[in-house]
């Protein structure tokens, strides 16, 4: 793969973005062999959260038999994605398991013991006639299939395809740049399945009624460009679509960078490409959309590059979602030598894996086993010498130095003022830093810290509101109690003067009666009566004795 002119030039004008790096692309390691399907592992661990947004809600039970492609996790909310069984078998557990995440923490997974039959569940009707269908129906199908962005961001595609009623997506950009070194899964996909990608492109462009489609591919992938150009010439998309070879420059595969290169437009800060009428989708995502709509198949497998100089036979594999990383490495002949670092993703933006048993998810595009020579120990970080090279290479035109100082000092407000959240974490700044400062780590730290504080602030605000509501409630209850008491008092108080008179009257009446009795009855009789009363009461007192 040289930087010589690609075989087919596009006459389209292309633009450039600021900075960027020419990195050794290392793609020849893994792009020579065709995509091979990995044998089905005995056990699949399928995480319920493989996308941005709310984790899927499990809709199966332990002990249940599932078929390949059966829904096992329903999307929970709008920004969420469905999860399907990657093969047939029995569900043995639904529990937290270690997942593909830089933290190495566990998250809820559905564990399936496969039976090897690979029997498909009843699949929905293919929507081959999608052109005449309501886009809502087609979009719902994409959502049902659990398609997420396969370039690495894993944002639910169904959501991205729905920009809202008042926005028009005029340009569809298909991202085949694959700018990160080592990774070749999109390259192989474009070479081997260009027609399937274009099927998806056709559906996508129909869904958003795009006026033009630009397929951006870095010019170090001549074979992929040729295959895509050929497939395009054979399709009915030639009118509106064009394959655009772009110069190989990391990170041209970043969404905003690719948009800039292909259209010259800048996505607004903290905005979305949809705001400038652009939809950007990865080639793998386009193929998955095609599978969902034309074949009615959910996303249950993906192409993963297994590479690095520690792997015996680096290549691309078609892997069922949920296969452990170790099975991929074993299928590629195991380790040639013990890797210094096992990375998920590319060497620039990937994260280190500490456990090779974690399952492959929809977002995992590459497993990279780096040998000591490929990942040399950078040595201790030295002081920043203010050389400014980081700012020269930053594709977003940030001031990485300033961000570094503020992130280091935990001055998050200032870091945000310097547009911390526009950083795409491409790692160019850290790659050129002569002091080997782990710059991206500082930015990642600062970003998550800001989110956490924001979350805490929201929680505190909620607690304050609840506390105030409680105080108001207590106050109201107290008032009500007092009011009730007063009312009762009032009702009694109203009767009181009358009753006092009545009492007095009763007392007077009793007195008069007593006086009348006294005067009427002779004294002896009264005494007898008293004696007889005493005599009567005596035995009553004695009885218990």
Partner 1 sequence: MTAILAIALLSGLFGLLLGYSAIRFKVEGDPVADQVESLLPQTQCGQCGYPGCRPYAEAVARGEEEINRCVPGGEATVRSLADLLGRDPVPLEVEEKPPAVAVIDEQACIGCTLCLQACPVDAIVGAAKQLHGIIAAECTGCELCLPPCPVDCIHMVPIGADISRWRWPYPVERKAA
Q: Which residues contact partner 1 (rule: CB under 8 A)?
A: 49, 99, 101-103, 105-107, 379-382, 410, 438, 441-442, 444-445, 447-449, 451-452, 455-456, 459-464, 466-467, 469-470, 473
Smaller CB separation from partner 1, 459 or 527: 459
Q: Where are the beta strands (DSSP E) in 118-211?
A: 171-176
Cβ 464 to partner 1 shortest distance, Å: 4
Smaller CB separation from partner 1, 382 or 495: 382
* Rg of the chain (C-alpha set): 38
Alpha helices in 253-361 (DSSP H): 255-263, 283-294, 325-331
Cβ 386 to partner 1 shortest distance, Å: 17
CA–CA separation, 396 and 97 (whole Å): 37
Cβ 35 to partner 1 shortest distance, Å: 30
Cβ 235 to partner 1 shortest distance, Å: 41
Smaller CB separation from partner 1, 462 or 532: 462
Q: Which residue, among 1, 38, 62, 505, has the nearest Cα to 317 in the 3D structure?
A: 38
Q: Which residue, among 59, 58, 38, has the nearest Cα to 114 in the 3D structure?
A: 38
Q: Is 502 helix (H, G, I), strand (E, B) or coil?
A: helix
Cβ 382 to partner 1 shortest distance, Å: 6
CB 244 within 8 A of CB 215: yes
Smaller CB separation from partner 1, 136 or 382: 382
Helix/strand/coil percent split, the chain, to 5? 40, 20, 40
CB 400 within 8 A of CB 385: no
Q: Is 107 helix (H, G, I), strand (E, B) or coil?
A: strand
Cβ 466 to partner 1 shortest distance, Å: 4
Q: Which residue, among 150, 227, 149, has the nearest Cα to 183 in the 3D structure?
A: 150
Smaller CB separation from partner 1, 53 or 176: 53
What residue has token string 């200032």? 414
144 Cβ contact list (under 8 Å, min separation 6): 71, 82, 124, 292, 298
Cβ 398 to partner 1 shortest distance, Å: 18
Smaller CB separation from partner 1, 45 or 332: 45
Tokens of 272: 């979305």
324 Cβ contact list (under 8 Å, min separation 6): 41, 45, 356, 357, 358, 359, 360
CA–CA separation, 211 and 279 (whole Å): 11
Smaller CB separation from partner 1, 452 or 525: 452
Cβ 7 to partner 1 shortest distance, Å: 43
Smaller CB separation from partner 1, 455 or 537: 455
Q: What is the dihedral of CA 98, 104, 106, 110, to 10 degrees?
A: -40
Smaller CB separation from partner 1, 210 or 412: 412
Half-sphere exposure of 162 (CA within 13 A, CB side): 16
Tokens of 204: 């996508």
Cβ 414 to partner 1 shortest distance, Å: 13
Cβ 150 to partner 1 shortest distance, Å: 20
Cβ 399 to partner 1 shortest distance, Å: 19
Smaller CB separation from partner 1, 8 or 382: 382
Strands across the sheet containing 341-344: 36-37, 315-320, 301-307, 366-370, 341-344, 351-353
Smaller CB separation from partner 1, 101 or 206: 101
């Amino acid at each position: 793969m040289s930087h010589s002119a690609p075989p087919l030039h596009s006459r389209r004008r292309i633009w450039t973005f600021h900075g960027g790096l020419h990195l050794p692309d290392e793609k020849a390691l893994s792009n020579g062999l065709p995509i091979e399907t990995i044998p089905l592992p005995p056990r699949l661990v399928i995480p319920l959260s493989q996308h941005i947004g709310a984790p899927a809600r499990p809709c199966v039970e332990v002990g249940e038999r599932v078929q390949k492609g059966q829904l096992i996790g329903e999307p929970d909310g709008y920004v969420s994605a469905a999860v399907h069984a990657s093969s047939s078998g029995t569900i043995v557990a639904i529990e937290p398991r270690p997942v593909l995440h830089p933290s190495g923490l566990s998250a809820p997974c559905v564990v399936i013991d496969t039976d090897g039959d690979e029997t498909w569940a009843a699949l929905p009707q293919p929507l081959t006639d999608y052109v005449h269908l309501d886009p809502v129906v087609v979009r719902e199908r994409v959502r049902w299939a659990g398609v997420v962005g396969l370039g690495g961001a894993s944002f639910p595609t169904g959501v991205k395809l729905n920009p809202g009623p008042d926005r028009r997506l005029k340009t569809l950009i298909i991202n085949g740049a694959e700018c990160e070194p080592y990774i070749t899964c999109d390259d192989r996909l474009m070479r081997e399945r260009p027609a399937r990608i274009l099927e998806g492109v056709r559906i996508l462009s129909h869904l958003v009624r795009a006026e033009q489609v630009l397929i951006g591919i870095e010019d170090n992938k001549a074979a992929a460009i040729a295959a895509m150009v050929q497939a395009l010439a054979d399709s009915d998309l030639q009118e509106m679509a064009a394959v655009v070879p772009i110069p190989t420059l990391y990170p041209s595969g970043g969404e905003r960078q690719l948009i800039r290169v292909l259209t010259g437009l800048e996505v607004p800060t903290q905005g979305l490409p949809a705001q400038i009428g652009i939809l950007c989708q990865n080639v793998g995502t386009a193929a998955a959309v095609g599978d969902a709509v034309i074949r009615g198949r959910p996303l249950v497998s993906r192409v993963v590059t297994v590479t690095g100089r520690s792997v015996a036979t680096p290549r691309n594999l078609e892997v069922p979602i949920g296969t452990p990383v170790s099975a991929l490495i074993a299928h590629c002949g195991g380790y040639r030598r013990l890797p210094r670092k096992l990375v998920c993703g590319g060497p620039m933006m990937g994260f280190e894996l500490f456990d090779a048993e974690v399952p492959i998810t929809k977002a995992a595009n590459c497993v990279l086993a780096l040998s000591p020579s490929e990942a040399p120990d950078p040595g201790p970080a030295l002081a920043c010498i203010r050389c400014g090279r980081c700012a020269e290479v930053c594709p977003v035109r940030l001031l990485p130095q300033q961000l570094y100082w503020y992130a280091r000092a935990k001055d998050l407000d200032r870091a945000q003022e310097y547009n911390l959240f526009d950083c795409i974490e491409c790692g160019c700044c850290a790659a050129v830093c002569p002091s080997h400062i782990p710059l991206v780590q500082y930015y990642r730290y600062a970003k998550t810290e800001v989110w956490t504080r924001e979350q805490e602030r929201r929680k505190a605000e909620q607690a304050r509101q609840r506390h105030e509501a409680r105080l108001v409630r207590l106050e109201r209850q107290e008032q009500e109690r007092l009011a009730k008491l007063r009312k009762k008092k009032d009702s009694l108080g109203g009767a009181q003067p009358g009753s006092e008179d009545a009492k007095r009257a009763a007392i007077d009446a009793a007195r008069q009666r007593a006086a009348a009795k006294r005067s009427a009855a002779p004294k002896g009789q009264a005494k007898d009566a008293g004696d007889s009363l005493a005599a009567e009461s005596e035995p009553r007192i004695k009885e218990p004795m």
